[in-house]
Structure 1
Amino acid sequence: MSLRADQATIDIRLVRELVDSQFPQWAGLPLEPVGSGGMCNAIYRLGSDLSVRLSLWSPGVDVVRREQAKLSSLAPFLPVAIPSVEAIGSPTDAFPGEWSVHRWLTGTHPTPGALVDPHGLAIDLAAFVGAFRRIDLPDRPPAYQGERRTRAPMDSMDSSTREAIGQLDGLIDTRAALASWEESLAAPYDGCEVWVHSDLMPSNLLVSTEGRLTAVLDFETSGRGDPACDLFPAWYLLPANVRGGFRAALDVDHATWLRGRGRVLSQALIVLRHFKDTNPAYANNARHAIGQVLAASRCRL
Structure 2
Amino acid sequence: MAMHDDEIAITDDVVRELIGSQFPQWKTAPVQRVESSGTVNAIFRIGDDVAARFALRPRDVSVAAELLEREAEASRRFAEHSPFPSPQPIAIGHPGKGYPLPWSVQSWVPGSIAPVDIDGSVQLAHDLAHLISALRATDTEGRRFQGDGRGGDLPDHDEWVEECFDKSEGLLDVPTLRRLWSHFRELPHTSADVMSHGDLQPLNVLVADGRLVGVLDTGDFTPADPALDAMSGWYFFDEESRAVLRDELGCDDLEWERTKAWSFQQALGAIWYYVDTNPVMYRMGRLVLDRVVANTKV
TM-score (norm 1): 0.90
1:157 aligns with 2:157: yes
Aligned mates of 1:135, 1:125 — CA distance in 2: 16
Segments ≥4 residues shifted beyond 3 Å: 112-115, 137-143
Aligned mates of 1:280, 1:28 — CA distance in 2: 35
1:125 aligned residue: 128
* Compared CA separation, residues 148 and 200, structure 1 to 2 (3 A): closer
**Does 36-45 or 54-63 show the bigger shift?**
54-63
2:52 aligned residue: 52
| Correspondence 1:13-24 to 2 at 5 A | 13-24=13-24
**Does 239-248 or 66-75 show the bigger shift?**
66-75
How far is the alpha carbon of 1:62 from its aligned partner? Answer: 1.9
Aligned mates of 2:150, 2:206 — CA distance in 1: 31
How far is the alpha carbon of 1:92 from its aligned partner? Answer: 2.2
2:187 aligned residue: 187
1:248 aligned residue: 247
**Does 90-99 or 259-268 show the bigger shift?**
90-99
Which AA in structure 2 matches 1:207?
A: V
2:91 aligned residue: 87
% same residue:
32
How far is the alpha carbon of 1:280 from its aligned partner? Answer: 2.1
1:135 aligned residue: 138
Aligned mates of 1:139, 1:98 — CA distance in 2: 31
Aligned mates of 2:77, 2:132 — CA distance in 1: 16
1:282 aligned residue: 281
Contact 1:112 1:239 in 2 (8 A): no
How far is the alpha carbon of 1:141 from its aligned partner? Answer: 7.3
Aligned mates of 1:113, 1:66 — CA distance in 2: 32
* Compared CA separation, residues 228 and 213, structure 1 to 2 (3 A): same
Contact 1:142 1:222 in 2 (8 A): no
- SS in structure 2 of the partner of residue 61 of structure 1: helix
- SS in structure 1 of the partner of residue 84 of structure 2: coil
1:294 aligned residue: 293
1:234 aligned residue: 233
Aligned mates of 1:167, 1:148 — CA distance in 2: 20
1:73 aligns with 2:72: no
| Correspondence 1:106-125 to 2 at 5 A | 106-114=110-118, 118-125=121-128
Contact 2:144 2:193 in 1 (8 A): no
Which AA in structure 1 matches 2:294?
A: A
2:41 aligned residue: 41
- Provide, for residues 195-219 of structure 1, a one-character-per-residue CA deviation record: whole Å limited to 9, x for no partner: 11111121110011x1111111112
How far is the alpha carbon of 1:137 from its aligned partner? Answer: 5.0
How far is the alpha carbon of 1:273 from its aligned partner? Answer: 1.7
Aligned mates of 1:232, 1:37 — CA distance in 2: 20
- SS in structure 1 of the partner of residue 122 of structure 2: helix
- Provide, for residues 177-198 of structure 1, a one-character-per-residue CA deviation record: whole Å limited to 9, x for no partner: 2232222222221262111111
1:64 aligned residue: 68
Aligned mates of 2:99, 2:231 — CA distance in 1: 32
Equivalences, count: 294
Unaligned runs of 5+ in 2: none
Aligned mates of 1:238, 1:294 — CA distance in 2: 15
1:257 aligned residue: 256
* Compared CA separation, residues 121 and 215, structure 1 to 2 (3 A): same
- SS in structure 2 of the partner of residue 215 of structure 1: strand
Q: RMSD of the alignment, in Å?
A: 2.2
Unaligned runs of 5+ in 1: none
How far is the alpha carbon of 1:172 from its aligned partner? Answer: 2.3
* Compared CA separation, residues 191 and 211, structure 1 to 2 (3 A): closer
* Compared CA separation, residues 22 and 103, structure 1 to 2 (3 A): same
